[in-house]
Structures are given as structure tokens and as C-alpha cells.
Amino acid sequence: MKTKSIQFIALSLFVSLLTLPLSFAQNKAKEIEQLMSKYNEYGQFNGSVLVAEHGKVIFEKGFGNANIEWNIPNQPDTKFRLGSISKQFTTFLIIKLAEEGKLKLDVPITTYLPDYPKATGDKITIHHLMTHTSGIPSYTSFPDFFRDKSRNPYTPEGLTKLFCDLPLEFTPGEKFNYCNSGYILLGYIIEKVSGKTYENYLQETILTPLKMANTGYDHSDIILKNRAAGYEKRGKVIVNADYLDMSVPYSAGSLYSTVEDLYLWDQSLYTTQLLSEASMNLLFKEYIPADGGHYGYGWFINDVANGKNSKVKTISHGGGINGFNTIISRIPADKNLVVILNNTGGTVLEEMNQAIRNILYDQPYHLPKKSVAFELLEIFTNDGLAAGNTAYAKIKNDPTYGIKESDMNRVGYRLLELNKKKEAIEIFKINTEAFPKSGNTYDSLGEAYLADGNKKLAIVNYTKSIELDPSNENGKKILAEISKK
């Protein structure tokens, strides 16, 4: 009897130890669901989420609608446009060609694009393109680009002609400056070297071997099952996103995928199925300081606190394209993964990612709050300046509301579009008060004052912006123009 009792206790203990990890994962999944449900309730998230811990999926779910007109819900297999997450696939293809000896990373791009202007092309390498250090102006930053050109179809050669004759903004290799033009050239080089279209080479090199059947190059005219529609938020109002011809983002941002397929992609990066270990390491090397961390080849690399008196390395990238924003965040040391795909325009995905990461590491995190910005847009738009100020005075100390810099900035620019300049100035002023160390808030306030004809206060705020953010080249340019006049 005694022996049986000991065996029974031992067996019970063994079973309990087996079920503990499952129990912890279920608790974390429940917390993640509560977190994302609250973001959805407050109108700050509409999309799909997947979270993996130690390489195993512990949570995947869709929130809100893939198609709002027809009330079709988002699911884990809903297809979203990825925007700049596409860049990591482009760099992977380049490294694959380099591994096969078909190109070199440290030679001038004119080696592969002989028609590119030699005055600048002879100074720029593929390495410069992949690390955003080429100095080429980013075509998506051109004035009125989205209004005048983004609806038109382009060939890779046609896209290149938009920027190839422009002077460089700085000496190649000198500094990091995020540049979509460089990634257009990478796609063009892939086509020249492989002899195939970017889309076909991507399909046969990555998507087919990894069985990523729900990922591809997006085309607006093709019927694509389970594709999410893209929307934008104007405060609390949701509108259809502006049309974008998908040849325009090309190899810098034209892919679509699902959270489930991006999990397959993440898992493949721990293997040598498609690339050797040496080649894989090239993707994640820290080449240039960028945004508080470093940039590799198509990935941002940062060290973040895990709450245990230590830090973990995150390898991540976000994306934004008409109607969508996205993030994929990997922690290779623990094989943790967060993928969030949203189809209602810009929102605070990095904030959500941080909260989920804290849940994974059993650390405190903040629940979302109602948006002050969304509340004020409606009032400033419909009822005017005085009513908006009164409303802000009532809610600014309400703990259920919170101010997000990006939301306030977006609302301010929306008011400028509506020609409500005084109201826009007030929103931007609130933003500078809430985020006094952000150069971007003062830059926006300066722009609003300039639009309102107040050059004196425009100069004051642009000057403050540059003081806080010396890398604000556009602010410097505008300040110089105002000063001359």
C-alpha cells in the first residue's frame, strides 16, 4: 500500500509539472485576449493577432471586421497588406543571390543597373540600399506624391526614373535615413540578376518552399480569397482607404500575408532551410544606429528590458500602407513572436506589442485608454474652437482617457485638411504640452502656424523642433525658407 501511495504521489506530481506550462500559456493567452479586446472596444485596433512563446503558438485571433460593409470578421487566415514588412523578404532574396555568387553587396549598384546615373550610382552599394544609408531621396516623401502619382501603374524602371536623377541627400554610408527608393532599386536588381520578375523569384525562393500559401505580391485586380479591405480612421469615423496601385510600393511594400503565414516565416528564420547560417547572420547584424537601436538588412534590432534586470534582443519591423499598418516582432533568444496586422490605418501597434511582450515575461503592462484625440476631433470639427477647449478641460484629468502623440498629430493634420487652422493649432499645442521632449510635436505646431500665416511662431516652433531633433532635415529646410522670406 505504501509503495503504491508513493508511486501515485510521484505520478500526480509528474502530471502536475506537465500541465503547469500549459496553464501558464492559457493564462497569458487570456490576458492577451482581454488586452486586444479592449483596444478593439476603444476603436484603436481592428485586425488579427498571433503570439508564439518558445516557438509554440499560444494565441491567435481576429478582432473587428475584414470588411466593414458586409460585417465579415477578421480571422487568423485573413490576408492583410504588409507595407514595409515586405522589406525583410526583399533583403532575404538579395542575400540568397549573394550566397549563390550572383551578386556582391559591396560593389556599386551600376554593376547591375548600368543605365543608372553613374554620378551617384557609382558611389552607392547594395549594402547602402539595404541599410537605408544610400542618401537617395525617398520617392514616397515627394510633395503631393500620393495625390498625383500613387494611383498610376509603374514598371520598376519607371519607378527608378522618379528619383534616379536627383542629388543625394548625404554621402552614402554617412548615416541612416529610411528610404523606400533604395528598396525599389533592390527589387529592380533582383529582377536583373535573377532574370525573373520580383514576384516570381519571391514565390519560388521563399513562399513555395515554406508553404506560405496565403502570402504573395498583391494585385488590386485579382480576386483574392479572405483579403481584408483597407480603411482609415478620422477620429471615430471610418472611411475607405485611398486607392493605391500596388506596383508603386513594389519591393518596398507590396506583399500581403496572414498572421499564420508570418509565423511560418518566423520559424524558418531559425533554420538553414533556405539560407546558410553565415548568410542568415548577415540579415541580423547591427550595421547602423537607427531609431534608438540598429538596423540590419530589412530589420530593426533593439535591446529591450525583460523586467528581470536584463535585456533581450528584439528583431522587428513595422509597416504602413493605405488602410493598413502592421508589425512583426521576434525575440530569438526565447523564440517568442508577436504579429499584429491592422486594417484601419495607423494605430499604436508598438504600444500593443510592448504590452504583449510584458505579458510573456510576466511583467506589468498598461491597459489601453480612450483616445483624447478621437474625442476632440469630432468636437473641434463640428462645434468649433471654444467647445473643443471646454471638452478638453473636462476630460484631460479623466483616468479613462489618454493622449497618444501619433493620434493627436493625425487629428491635427486632419483639421488642417478641413481648413480649421485655429483648431489644428490647439491640438498641436496640447500635443507639445503632453510630449514636451518630442521634436515632431513642435514641427507639426510650426507647420500649423505657418499655414495660419503666423511666421513668427512658426519659426519659434521649428527652431524648438530642430533643437530637440537635430536630424529633422525637412524642418531645417522649411526654417531656412521662412527666414529668407
- The residue among 360, 387, 416 that closes a domain is 360
C-alpha 398/C-alpha 378 separation (Å) is 18
Other Cβ atoms less than 10 A from the Cβ of 347: the count is 24
Give me the amino acid identity at 352.
M
Helix (H) or strand (E) run with residue 352 in it: helix 349-360
Residue 472 domain flag: yes
- Please say whether the beta carbons of 398 and 422 come within 8 A: no
Distance CA 51, CA 141 (A): 33
- The DSSP call for residue 457 is H
**Domain shared by 344 and 224, yes or no:** yes
DSSP 256-297: EE-HHHHHHHHHHTTS-SSS-HHHHHHHT---EEETTEEE-S
> Is 334 a domain residue?
yes
Nearest to 325 by CA among 358, 302, 355, 351: 351
Q: Are residues 417 and 336 in the same domain?
A: no
pLDDT of residue 234: 86
Residues 384 and 304 placed together within one structural domain of the fold: no
337 sits in which H/E element: strand 336-342
CA nearest neighbour of 265 among 189, 223, 211, 324: 211
Q: Please check whether residues 316 and 448 belong to one and the same domain.
A: no
Which of these, 448, 441, 387, lies nearest to 416 by C-alpha position?
Answer: 448
pLDDT for the residue numbered 305: 82
Q: Is residue 263 part of a domain?
A: yes
DSSP letters of 363-412?
Answer: ---PPP-EEHHHHHHHHHHHH-HHHHHHHHHHHTT-TTEE--HHHHHHHH
- Do 228 and 322 contact (CB within 8 A), yes or no? no
Residue 362 grid cell: 510576466
User: What's this model's pTM, rounded to 2 decimal places?
Assistant: 0.89
Are both 284 and 319 inside the same structural domain?
yes
Residue type present at position 401: Y
Note whether 323 and 389 are same-domain residues: no
Count of Cβ atoms closer than 10 Å to residue 387 Cβ:
14
Give the type of residue at 235: G
DSSP state of 298: S
Those residues of the chain that have pLDDT short of 70 are 1-24, 307-309, 485
Residue where one domain finishes, among candidates 360, 386, 401: 360
Give the 3-state secondary structure of residue 14. helix
All three cell numbers of 201? 523569384
Is 338 contained in some domain? yes
Domain count, the chain: 2
Domain membership flag for residue 233:
yes
pLDDT of residue 6: 59
Report the candidate in 304, 300, 270 with the shortest Cα–Cα distance to residue 286. 300
Pair 256, 118 in one domain: yes
Domain range enclosing 449: 370-484
Supply the CATH number for residue 435's domain.
Answer: 1.25.40.10
Q: Of 300, 334, 360, at which residue does a domain stop? A: 360
- At residue 361, what are phi and psi to the nearest 5 degrees? -100, 20
Residue 60 lies in a domain: no
Q: Is the dihedral of CA 437, 443, 448, 454 positive or negative?
A: positive
Mark whether 106 and 237 lie in a shared domain.
yes
Q: What is the phi/psi pair of residue 239, to 5°?
A: -130, 160
Q: How far apart are CA 441 and CA 431, in angstroms?
A: 6
Q: Residue 377 and residue 430: Cα distance in Å, rounded?
A: 13
CA distance 198 to 195: 9
Cβ contact 154:129 at 8 Å: no
User: How many CB atoms are located within 10 Å of the residue 218 CB?
Assistant: 23
Q: 155 and 176, same structural domain?
A: yes
**8 A C-beta contact, residue 368 and residue 38:** yes
Write the DSSP symbol of residue 312.
E
Report if residue 72 sits inside a domain. Answer: no
pLDDT digit string, tens, across residues 339-357: 999 999 999 999 999 999 9
Q: Are residues 246 and 347 in the same domain?
A: yes
> Which SS3 state, helix, strand or coil, does residue 437 take?
coil
The 216-217 sheet, strands edge to edge: 80-81, 255-257, 216-217
Asked if 456 and 430 touch (Cβ cutoff 8 Å), the reply is: no
Q: Is residue 237 part of a domain?
A: yes
Beta pairing, strands 370-371 & 401-402 = parallel
Q: Are 172 and 134 in contact (CB under 8 A)?
A: yes
Q: Do residue 356 and residue 425 come from a single domain?
A: no
Q: What is the pLDDT of residue 14?
A: 54
Q: Are residues 339 and 465 in the same domain?
A: no
| First-residue to last-residue Cα distance in the chain | 98
